[in-house]
Amino acid sequence: MLRAEVAKSTHGRIRRLSVDCDHDRIVVRGNTSTYYAKQLALKAVRNLVPETPVQLDIKVVPRRGQA
């Protein structure tokens, strides 16, 4: 459910997306080309589980030709 909501909220901009529960926190992993998509992922998780700590392990890697 969380993974689907993150994918929907980021419009599929996060590649290799995974969302896992690790102890008492949620860990979101993947790659994206913008910090905006990373922010959208955090917002999506926060909207569904606002009290649970979130660890973002999303690497921002600009695409070629993107500065």
The overall average pLDDT reported for the chain is: 94
Q: Write the class of the CATH domain 2-60.
A: alpha beta
**pLDDT per position as a tens digit, 16-39:** 999 999 889 999 999 999 999 999
Is the pLDDT at 66 greater than 70? The verdict is no
Q: How far apart are CA 53 and CA 25, in angstroms?
A: 5
Q: How far apart are CA 25 and CA 36, in angstroms?
A: 22
